[in-house]
Chains A and B, each alone.
Chain A
Amino acid sequence: MPNALAMPFSNEAGTGEPRVVPVKLLVLIVCLSLLGSYLLVPDQSQLVERLMMDQQYSRIQDMLRSSLGNEDGVDAESLQKLGSERLASLSNLLRLTPREQVQTIFAAGRPLTYDRFTHAVTLAAVKYVDVMTPEQAWALIGKQVDRIPPGYLADLTSVLAHNALATGKPDVAARVLAKSAELPQATPVQAREMVQAFRWSGKAAEGALHLRRWLEARPDLASSLSPDMMELRDLGLQVALEGGSPGDALDFQIMGLKAIPQTTAISEPQIKVAMSLATQSSRTGDVVPWLKRFIEGLPEHKLDWRSLPQQKVSSPDKFATYATWLTKYAQYSDWSSGFDTAFDAHFRLAACGEVPSLDRCLALADFLGRIEELADLLQFTSITDQRPELQPKLAAFLANLGRDEEALPIYQKWVTDHPEDAEAAHDLGCLLEDMGREEDALLAFANAVKVHPEHVASIKKLAESCIRAGKHANALQLYAGLPEKAHDHATLENYALLAESLDQHDQLFRAQVLTTRQTDVTTVEPYLAIAETASYLENPEPAIAELEKGLQRFPSSPALRVAIGTVWLRDLTNPERCYAALKHDSVKQSFEGVTLLIEIGALLPNPPDLLAFLGSDIENKFSLPPQSRLELAVLSHRCGDVARAERLFATVPEEGRGLAYLAEAKTQLGELDDAIRLMNRYLEGNSRATSEDWIALGELFEQTGRADEADHAFQQSLTLLTSDLPDTKEAPTIKSTQASEPASVSPRLSPATEP
């Protein structure tokens, strides 16, 4: 499809030559036209000459003399200055009837210049009511009145208004005068005429409105104290009221009030009228400043608020009047969102015992930031006797103002008198704490908790106070008594710390469990902590249950599996469950897991299964310590893999501590003579040998029936053990072989349970 836009540039576009008029011919035609016009159109002098010949000049002159009162009319020279078009139109106008003239002059589509000639024609046309009624004239003129210059408009409207009134058409007169009143030159007299015209036409409200606008446009006149203006404002007020427009009436009243000099007091009747009108017009806010001025003029208002109650007693009548006005003032201010003003008024009323005003102050004080004044008021007046519940509020106000010393006795008395008020009791403690009076705060919180044992906030605060005071057991008791839902992150942490510090393992366990339930646990750490606690619990079964829950969340955590395995082995002496917990691929990457598995190998019913799980090269994956290597060797040996056992034995050199490890391994394999040899070698001249080492040797001697040597070894151990133990009140029981092995044997594994 061809591109339409591209077509003019296309080769397929029209190929014929365009037809055009020659330029020379075109120029010739234009020149001829211009010449013809010049010769045919008359010039100015020719036009005036024609006017004279038509006697139009004398008609225009007569018209000007008649309508404008101009004795000289217009001279020929003036006419000559007019343009030909203007002269032609004037000439045409004069040929028309008066109605046609007015229609022509004010026709919407043909805007004639409204000059003195046109004005003269218009005045002549509207002058006689029998020729054209003012109503008809205004109907034609009114729409185009903006075209009339102000001076001419005043003339015209005056003629029309008078004619309208004369013909019993006050509404027309009002409309016409309203228009003229809009002119800056409009006088108060004109304004008055306008208002009256409206009034006579039954449109008083409209008249008031126009007058108000007229006055608003003339602020100097509006606030003038001249009798004329006062009368005019009064007229406006009356007309507004007649017209049912109290708002406008209020405006006239306010204008009157504004006219009163600042030094002159507003009289009661004046403010009454204003308030009445304000109320009628729902514009109470507008009268508030005047009300304020009025009240400020009252002698009672000049008194300090602290003196008002006395005034109320000494001059009850006067005060009643003042209170009435002040109440109105407060109300009006409130209604008009003048809350600061309302507060001021209510405040003074409240100072005299007006409870509703006090309530209003209470409601406003916080919003307005006027707590301090309110606190002063509450402290000053006896109003709190009527409203005792305000006492703790006052105390709170004072405390928030930093006036703790004043707040404290109020709180204390209130709490004593009203023990049922849990919040006040709590706040009293908080205040004491804020004041740095820790001991007193503790007592206050203790008192609050005693009376309100369910008050969680007080319990938490009391617990914190107890901690600070070093009463940790009390604090722990409080945390322990809190229901689960009442705990939060902080209390749980405190709970756990206290329980741990006080060796209260059951409580520690509870705190740890609650922690795993409450917080978003993302690591196994909380569960590892539970596993650690398990060893201190009388019954570790619940701990295992919690750990199993943890395992459901972190099934591939070697650390958690080792922790569970340790609990099973260490605390519940169940190596099989330990193995079950550890038998997971993830544990194969864990040094601790692997060494624990090797350690329990001898305790399992099916050691080959363990070896198979660990794999044949576990000793190459980790740098196992000598003990683990030897345990693995013993295990391998027992499972028939002697070669591996020997390889592992060979990794532990017969020197230093290795001798003792090897002796122990040989013992487990029943190679007692070898074990004795190694142990003897280890102990020979070894100053770091322990009593446990000697006991091990003694036992080897015992097992091989060498009683004397066994006794010697045991004696050596006893000497070492007693020399190590500090001098204490009670002689300790000496640790036997069965109880403790040297570092080579983990205490996690009791030899008594060996198969």
Chain B
Amino acid sequence: MPIYSLHERQNSIKGSGEVDETLNGSARFAGFKYKLGASLGITVLSLYVAICCAAFGQEGESTKLLWVSRANKISPADVAGFDVVVVSATAKLPSARVPQSQLRLALFEPGGVLTAKQRDLAEAQGLVVIASVVRENEVKLDLSTDAAISFAARDLPGDLISKGFDGLVVSLAGLLEDQQSALLKEMRVAFPNVPLYVRNAPALAQTEGLNLGCYLEVPISEVAGTAAQLKATRWGRPPLVVALAGAEITPERSHEIAQTLQQAGATCVVTSEKLDGFTFAPLREKARKALILYGWDPREAEKALIPPTDTMTAELFQAPLEHLGLEAEYLDVGSGNLRSSPQGYGAVILDAELDIPTSRESDFMGMLLEFKAARVPILFVGGMPFKRADSIQALRDEFGLRGTLQEVPHARDAEIVSVDERLMNFEAPVVARNLAMMDMRAPEDAHVLVSQRCKDVDDLAVVWTPAFLCSWGGMWLDPHILMRGSQDNYFFLGDPYGILSELIAQGGSLPVLDSTTRDGMRIFYSHIDGDGFGSLTQFRGHPFCAEVVRDKILKAFPLPVTVSIVEAEIKGMAQGIDESWKPKLVDLAKSIFQLPNVRAASHSFAHPYQWDATDPNPGIYTEPFMTLKPDVPYRQVSVDREIRGSVDYINSELLPKDKKVELMLWSGNCRPGAEALRLVEDLGIYNMNGGQTIVSRLYPGIAGVAPRVMPWGDELQIHASNQNEFMYANGWNGPFFGGFADVVDTFERTESPRRLKPVNVYYHFYSATSLSSLRALEKVHRWCMAQPLHGVSALEYAQLAKDVRDARVFELGPQAWRICTGGHARTIRLSADLGRPDLGRSEGVTGWVTHQNSVYVHTDGRHVVNLVFRDGGDEPPKPGNTELRLVSSSAGLKFEEFGPWKIKFVVNPLVMTPVNVVFSGVPANSSCDLTVNDARSNLSADALGQLKFQIPPGAHIVLDAQRTRYALLQ
């Protein structure tokens, strides 16, 4: 009986109607057969009803969640799970609403700065606008006339409502009293059913007959008073209260504040003072960002500003940070806003490419101290960024460092004092270096990773601890980070995963949104850059490369592949492409895009080598783009032509009706810059390429593992998970071209000892020019076919990569988290030491698999997942403890019913191979019913309680483990 009650409770939490039926049916069956069974059934039913009541009772008490942000870019993950969302009027909200009842409010400031469109509209109506004396092109509306009030009350909000907002939070700051009431009255007349909240003016919010809501932003110090006021007033609708807290607020305090406000009847959030969306309570958000400080004043440093991708962190540490669950956010100290609030950050890294402008050193130090006070770990990497003696002194004093913190010129006879063998001597041994020797010792409490000493010019001993971890973070300085063998071969002297893991450990367990695995299997995706589409192969008859790739790869290996083309090549505009080939190339492209396993992408119009003309490090290219025929009127890269033009061409001329271009695959230096990325986003497609992950026998250092994504301004570049064949085949310089077969070595190295990347087979059409390179491709594909992989399209991976960055994690309690995503990030990784998911108490979790001392938890793709861990139970479970779960699947499954004994799902119909599925959670060697498209069969579990079977794409499956229960009853 206790066995049943456990499941009853689980089902009640899930609220699954199907389970109800199952239980009733089962109880009837038991009653029919056995009296004992009947009584059990009745007991179960009673318990079920009781628990349901309890659950409903809880539901009744549950409060609504509020989220407020001033950001302009709002991702689906940002708003998922919140009942009320308040954002800037200029923000663009995602289309998906989770929950469906989500109320979306725009912060509307009638007296605020007008957008260009609003200004034009106002001027067209003859209204007066007031120009800002401080900022150019900034204008506000002169609200002194009735016409202006009417415009502000009708036209401006109307535009917002039409953009998809449900209601408005009206900020009346700066308006006269009569203007305020006139405006509100007119708004109510114009929008009689739209929820209107008044910001920070509770008295106005109580205006009779207007049915207004109250929206308050209050510092936490004023929360008690505010709560008292709220209690004393009767509100038509619950007031929205935003409690503004500093980074120093404790979880207990924030929880207390939220409770106080909730008890006063408010829908509230305790969030950061900067209203950046980070929440302290009622949901305690986990910090998922690492702040990377880099850059310089270009005039002072006499070198151009660099984008984040050129920093040491991007090159070496972003990938480990991502693996550990932190997303890198870069702040250019030369041009950016120096002060940044510490909340939301799990670490701060002072990059090696940081040269603080001397005039800002003091401010910079202040910011560091703020982070230090908020207990955000700070890691100095590379070198010391301060030049001013007073700053260095402050660093010494505030961070507990010892020594002069000055470089020791002419240092010699360096020798190692100590090396932490666990975290150092990683890919290459630490050796004593005279280079960059400093008179600096770690704070007293530090965990010293490397300590060395040398003699200075006066033959005196100086000690330096270039690598250490301590209470405030630590340092890992050059030249003790890497052994730089060449431009392609770096060897870490310390384990970046281990060191960074220890650095951020004090932040507690962080569920990591994983981009390598889906449904328990490593992700596979493949994409082809269009280069060489029209090149002739070396085979008999010299067919086009594309023809050979189509016939020998795309048709031969039924894996999902995203194929791109270069427009100028297909159109015969490229040098070397005969005009007469054009119709053949067009037909060839069409035939490829018609293949069922092929998805479409663009590889630009003319294959730019350098995307951004202002890029300070564009790479060594002699031409801006591929050589075109002289009569083609195209002289310099036009981002619009390259992206929009090529996408339009492919969509309209080459694709079948049911397909559209999904991705823009960067060409050349793969450094798109913000403008190009913005354009791609505006087109509603995703982007990919760059990063150049390569770690193999030829490039053995783990430093070759690139980050998953790279920010450019507000935009995001999605890196390919692996480098293409060019680098594997000696830069395509020959004499032999079969090196891409070695990519399997990369796949293995990025799988073990830790899974760092999906399997990404990325190549160009020119891989078919020679038989050796084609055979390498075939070999790689054969390897992929033989591996347990979960195939997705490149688009799906791009969506996943972005979603992982946007995802939010909230701590619900010990070993319990809420994960909000856009629905693409469907795997959560945690240390296996934390236990195993408690499926009964979790929501949206379909199963898990353990791998490399991690638990990879898979979800059903819902936006809001509640994940609860418990200590690992029996594996396999004892009879009666059946709790079906998905272990792995080689293709996507859509679950229609998910109960402990019965699971119904549909297999992705778009895959082209039989799908391997493993379920677990039934007793060893037990029997289950498997129905595949109405054909029922018996399925036996193995000794581990695993049910392994293969099913066709698109199949409707019912896996019924009721027999395990039946066996117990017998």
Chain A residues proximal to chain B, CB less than 8 Å: 366, 368-372, 396, 399-402, 404, 427, 430-431, 433-436, 438, 464, 467-468, 470, 472, 475, 489-490, 493-494, 497-498, 500-501, 503, 523-525, 535-536, 557-560, 570-571, 590-592, 622-623, 625-628, 657, 688, 690, 692, 724-726, 728, 732-736, 738-744, 746-748
Contacts and interface: CB of A to CB of B under 8 A. Distances in A.
B390 interface: yes
B486 A498 contact: yes
Contacts of A732: 453, 460-461, 463
Nearest to A625: B390
A586 to B, nearest CB: 10
A658 to B, nearest CB: 10
B491 A468 contact: no
A431 B772 CA distance: 11
B697 interface: yes
7 contacts: A468-B697, A500-B479, A524-B302, A726-B418, A743-B389, A747-B408, A747-B439
B420 interface: no
A488 B535 CA distance: 29
B310 to A, nearest CB: 13
Interface string B385-427: 0011111110011000010111111100001011000000000
Given A368-B540, A625-B390, A747-B406, 12 more contacts: A371-B538, A401-B772, A433-B739, A436-B742, A436-B745, A468-B485, A470-B491, A692-B404, A726-B463, A728-B417, A732-B463, A747-B404
Given A368-B540, A401-B772, A501-B483, A523 B302 contact: yes
A532 to B, nearest CB: 9
B620 interface: yes
A535 B542 contact: no
A532 B882 CA distance: 68
A735 B388 contact: no
Contacts, number: 204
B358 interface: yes
Given A500-B435, A728-B417, A735-B460, A468 B489 contact: yes
A725 B461 contact: yes
B485 A472 contact: yes
Contact of A433 (B409, B410, B538, B730): B730
Given A725-B463, A738-B458, A536 B410 contact: yes
Given A399-B736, A524-B302, A735-B461, A501 B540 contact: no
B459 interface: yes
Interface string B317-346: 000000000000000000000000000000
Contact of B404 (A628, A657, A743): A743
Contact of A430 (B417, B491, B730, B742): B730
Nearest to B416: A728
Interface string B441-472: 10000000001010010111111000000000
Interface-centre pick from A402, A628, A692, A738 (highest chain B CB count, 10 A): A402
A625 B389 contact: yes
A515 B485 CA distance: 17
Interface in B704-754: 729-730, 734-739, 741-742, 745
A456 B390 CA distance: 52
A472 B358 CA distance: 38
B209 interface: no
Contact of B485 (A370, A497, A735, A739): A497
B700 interface: yes
Nearest to A373: B540
Nearest to B779: A402
A570 B483 contact: no
B396 A743 contact: yes
Given A438-B698, A501-B479, A726-B463, A427 B486 contact: no
B486 A470 contact: no
A490 B487 contact: yes
A743 B393 contact: yes
B539 A688 contact: no
Interface of B: 300-304, 358-359, 362, 387-393, 396-397, 402, 404-410, 415, 417-418, 428, 433-435, 439, 441, 451, 453, 456, 458-463, 479, 483-487, 489, 491, 537-542, 620, 696-700, 729-730, 734-739, 741-742, 745, 770-776
Contacts of A401: 771-772, 775
A744 B404 CA distance: 8
Contacts of A470: 428, 485, 491
B738 A497 contact: no
B96 to A, nearest CB: 46
B735 A396 contact: yes
Contacts of B461: 725, 732-733, 735
Top 9 A-B pairs, shortest CB-CB distance? A732-B461, A402-B775, A467-B485, A625-B390, A402-B772, A494-B486, A591-B358, A434-B736, A497-B484
Contact of A434 (B434, B458, B541, B739): B739
A650 to B, nearest CB: 17
B771 A402 contact: yes
Nearest to B396: A743
Contacts of B537: 369
Contacts of B418: 726
A627 B698 contact: no
Nearest to A463: B486
Given A369-B542, A592-B358, A497 B486 contact: yes
Given A468-B697, A475-B485, A591-B358, A399 B772 contact: yes
Contacts of B773: 402
Contacts of B392: 743
B451 to A, nearest CB: 6
B456 to A, nearest CB: 7
Given A524-B302, A735-B460, A743-B406, A627 B453 contact: no
Nearest to A367: B542
A536 B434 contact: yes
Contacts of A472: 483, 485
A372 B771 contact: yes
Interface-centre pick from A467, A523, A690 (highest chain B CB count, 10 A): A467
Given A436-B741, A464-B486, A743-B396, A400 B541 contact: no
B771 A400 contact: yes
A166 B98 CA distance: 111
Contact of B620 (A489, A622, A626): A489
Contacts of A733: 459-461
Nearest to B441: A724
B695 to A, nearest CB: 12
Contacts of B460: 732-736, 739-740
Given A535-B409, A724-B402, A747-B408, A370 B540 contact: yes
Nearest to A745: B404
Nearest to B745: A436
B486 A493 contact: yes
Contacts of B540: 368-370
A692 B736 CA distance: 63
Contacts of B734: 430
Contact of B387 (A591, A738, A748): A591
Contact of B541 (A369, A738, A742): A369
A740 B463 CA distance: 13
A190 to B, nearest CB: 46
Contacts of A400: 538, 735-737, 770-772
Given A369-B541, A369-B542, A726 B483 contact: no
Contacts of A535: 409-410
Contacts of A628: 389
Nearest to B415: A728
Nearest to A496: B484
A558 B773 CA distance: 52
Nearest to A475: B485
A117 to B, nearest CB: 59
Contacts of A370: 540
A736 B300 CA distance: 36
Nearest to B428: A470
A372 B773 CA distance: 14
